[in-house]
Amino acid sequence: MKFGSAFSDSVTGGKATERRLFRTPSASWWSGSGRFLLFTSVLFFSLFALFFRLFHLTVVKGHEYRSLADGNRTRVLIQHAPRGLLLDRTGKPLVSNIPQYRLIRPCEGTADATQECTTRVSQEEGDAMQKNGLPLGSFLEVDYQRLYLYPEATAHVVGYINELSEDELQDEYYALRGYGPGDRIGRVGAEEVFEERLRGKNGKQLVEVDASGKILRVLGSDPAIPGEYITLSLDIGLSVTAETAFPVGQKGAVVITKPSTGEIVGLYSSPSYNPNLFTSVMSMEQYHGLVNNPDQPMFNRSIGGVYPPGSTFKIVTALAGLEEKSIQKDTIVEDTGVITIGPYKFPNWFFLQYGKTDGFVDVVKALQRSNDIFFYKAGEMIGITKLSQWARKVGIGKPLGIELSGEASGLMPDPAWKQERFVSPEDLEARNNDWYLGDTYHVAIGQGYLMTTPLQVNAWTDVIANNGVQCRPTIKKVTNSKYQSPTCKSLDIHKETISLITQGMQEACATGGTGWPLFDFHVQATASAAMTYIPVACKTGTAEFGDTTGKPHAWFTVFAPIPEQYNSSLKESGKTIISGDPELAISVLVEGAGEGSDQASPVAKKILEAWFLR
């Protein structure tokens, strides 16, 4: 069909060209569905990435980031529990707790920015910080400082607390018990013995803080549970008296007990120390001055020091002799001044000092006069084997079991011990390990290889005061009646033995005896009041040690009052006399001071006066 010249062939050609352009793949895809597909794909993958990130933040890491966010808004502060108080037997506090704070702040100069350091500040300083604003990022926790009210009089019984070291905090033992940085723990004494009961349980406080660390409000709290109050057997009045009565500048110890229960009423070691140094900021100079002091003020001489007991041991020799029937009530020994065995001489102290003798002596007079000649011969008649058996029975050569750490065993020698101790590898034929009669003589009067603690001297004094019952020493207050404590046991000693030894000890503190400061012992409340006489039983001791050219150790042990059945003084008329069961037993040691009657007995006398004046 022909359209004529008005329509050129170009029209048909143009359509053909259009068809070719429309069918070009690249142009048709982009202008058509391709652009939509690309946009949809980008949108899908973007949404998927956002969803995955949201899932990761909220589900996978949600708890961690929530904790971090809450940490920026809230803070858990420890409410440190006040440590329980230690009380004396009358209820008087021996310690107190002074309120203070722990300042928790970021540590300076450390690579870890989250690490925190603890500094203790006083209550006044902490209150001022809270009023004026804490340093950035710092917090205050309630805490307490331990104060020892009678520091030197009770240091070796009460003990002290101080902060756990970093090494200790890594120990599983402390971690399992909830100890943390800055916490303190009992180191020695009652503070250590009763640690679990004294420490209490810390509380917690959840607070809201702002970006600077300022507390905005308290969100919740779990109150701290204070530590338990512990009543000790100590009598603080007697403890202070022991401290003030002890010779100034001298080393030694005082042990005061209630015989019927074994309770430690006073325990003093000289020189002493101030335990408050350990609860405050102690300088290195103070620390080294304390631990390197040649007089060892932190050493508890009353339970850890070992010394020859001197003539106080004659109580044990008399006990062994009478119980083994080696000596009797009517056994008489003539004091000749000196016993000579070959080239060796064994003198009596009275003959050595004054050139005099005591004549014929029985066991009562031997204790009264502390006659060496009688006890040399008594030791010979008993024999070292039986003597050592009785010595161990009353507690020599083993710890007595007091709760305090550091108790020494002492030493009760015998032939087997010497055989082992002095064997000579170089010369198997050497006889320097044989036991000689002279060794027995020395032990029988409390010298030679024999070593005891002041606590052990007090223990055998308690046995006589208790009619043969031995009670384990304790720093706990005992509520049982006499001898009913499970820590008390009878040694099955005959009453006549107790009677004779008590009589001899009573005579030692009467005219003609060696304990002259307690002759006619009495107390008088006022100048116009009547005098009250207290019958006492005592034994002096003077023990040579080391360099015999120096002064010997001074010993004195005593109990009072004397039970009525053994007290001959009750028969005297015109006197007001205290009688009954023994209330106190006191043993005093003054190292290298001289005679027991001169140096040690005045200390015991002042303690007895303080007790009976009540």
What DSSP assignment string belongs to 227-284? Answer: PPPEEBS--HHHHHHHHHHSPTT--EEEEEEETTTTEEEEEEEES---GGGGTS---H
Map tokens 């009495």 to a residue: 522
Q: What is the DSSP string of 525-562?
A: SSTTSPPEE---EEEEEEE--SSTTSPPEEEEEEEES-
Neighbour-count burial of 305, counting CB atoms closer than 10 A to its CB (0-12 exposed, 13-18 middle, 19+ buried): buried
Instruction: Evaluate the omega torsion of the peptide bond into residue 561 and state whether it is cis, within 30 degrees of 0.
Output: yes
Residue 118 near residue 181, CB atoms below 8 Å:
yes
60 or 45, higher pLDDT = 45
Q: Where are the domains of the chain?
A: 71-231, 236-612
Pairing of β 469-471 and β 74-79: unpaired
Coil/strand/helix, residue 224: coil
Q: Render the burial of 379-416: b for 16+ CB within 10 Å, e for the rest.
A: bbbbebeebbebbebbbbbeebebbbebbbbbebbbbe
Statement: residue 14 has pLDDT above 50: no
> Within 13 Å and on the Cβ side, how many CA atoms surround 138?
21
Least confident of 17-31, 257-271, 549-563: 17-31
Q: How far does CA 277 lie from the centroid of its chain?
A: 16
Map tokens 């102290």 to a residue: 349
Residue 587 near residue 457, CB atoms below 8 Å:
yes
Kindly indicate the confidence band of residue 356, based on its pLDDT and cuts at 50, 70 and 90.
very high
Q: What is the spatial distance between Cα 415 and Cα 433, in angstroms, rounded to a whole number?
A: 8
Give Cα separations from 62 to 2, 370, 490 (angstroms). 81, 86, 71
Q: Which residues, at least 6 apart from 66, have a Cβ–Cβ distance to it below 8 Å?
A: none
Q: What is the spatial distance between Cα 157 and Cα 154, in angstroms, rounded to a whole number?
A: 5
pLDDT of residue 225: 95
Mean pLDDT of the chain: 88
Task: Write out the CATH class of domain 71-231.
Answer: alpha beta
Q: Which of these CATH numbers, 1.25.40.10, 3.40.50.12280, 1.10.4160.10, 3.40.710.10, describes 236-612?
A: 3.40.710.10
Map tokens 């569905």 to a residue: 33
The percentage of residues in the chain with a pLDDT greater than 90, rounded to a whole number, is: 64
Kindly indicate the confidence band of residue 71, based on its pLDDT and cuts at 50, 70 and 90.
low
Pairing of β 230-231 and β 86-87: parallel
Q: What Rg do the C-alpha atoms of the chain give, in angstroms?
A: 42
Statement: residue 70 has pLDDT above 60: no
Which residue type occupies 285? E
Residue 256 near residue 265, CB atoms below 8 Å:
yes
pLDDT of residue 18: 46
| DSSP H or E stretch at residue 495 | helix 495-508
Q: What is the spatial distance between Cα 513 and Cα 100, in angstroms, rounded to a whole number?
A: 57
571 or 277, higher pLDDT = 277
Kindly indicate the confidence band of residue 3, based on its pLDDT and cuts at 50, 70 and 90.
very low
Q: What is the spatial distance between Cα 255 and Cα 586, in angstroms, rounded to a whole number?
A: 6
CA dihedral 218, 75, 143, 114 (to 10 degrees): -160
Q: What is the spatial distance between Cα 155 and Cα 26, in angstroms, rounded to a whole number?
A: 99
Statement: residue 569 has pLDDT above 70: no
* φ, ψ for residue 34, nearest 5 deg: -65, -40
Give Cα separations from 587 to 459, 567, 584 (angstroms). 9, 21, 10
Map tokens 């820590």 to a residue: 487
Model confidence pLDDT, tens digit, residues 365-419:
999 999 999 999 999 999 999 999 999 999 999 999 999 999 999 999 999 999 8
* φ, ψ for residue 561, nearest 5 deg: -75, 175
Q: Render the burial of 186-206: b for 16+ CB within 10 Å, e for the rest.
A: bebbbbbbbbeebbbebbebe
* Mean pLDDT, range 574-602, rounded to an integer: 91
DSSP summary character for residue 80: P
Coil/strand/helix, residue 490: strand
Least confident of 1-10, 172-181, 338-347, 568-577: 1-10
Statement: residue 210 has pLDDT above 80: no
Neighbour-count burial of 45, counting CB atoms closer than 10 A to its CB (0-12 exposed, 13-18 middle, 19+ buried): exposed
* Adjacent-strand bridge partners of 360: 334
Model confidence pLDDT, tens digit, residues 116-166:
888 889 999 998 988 888 887 788 888 999 999 999 999 999 999 999 988
pLDDT of residue 12: 46
Q: What is the DSSP string of 148-211?
A: ESSHHHHHHHH-EEEEPPHHHHTSHHHHHTT--TT-EEEEEHHHHHTHHHHS-B-EEEEEEE-T
Q: Which residues, at least 6 apart from 190, have a Cβ–Cβ distance to it below 8 Å?
A: 86, 157, 158, 159, 230, 232, 403, 475
The percentage of residues in the chain with a pLDDT greater than 70, rounded to a whole number, is: 86
Kindly indicate the confidence band of residue 64, based on its pLDDT and cuts at 50, 70 and 90.
low
Model confidence pLDDT, tens digit, residues 170-179:
898 998 888 9
| CB neighbourhood size of 340 (10 A) | 10
Least confident of 28-32, 79-83, 350-354, 513-517: 28-32
Coil/strand/helix, residue 464: helix
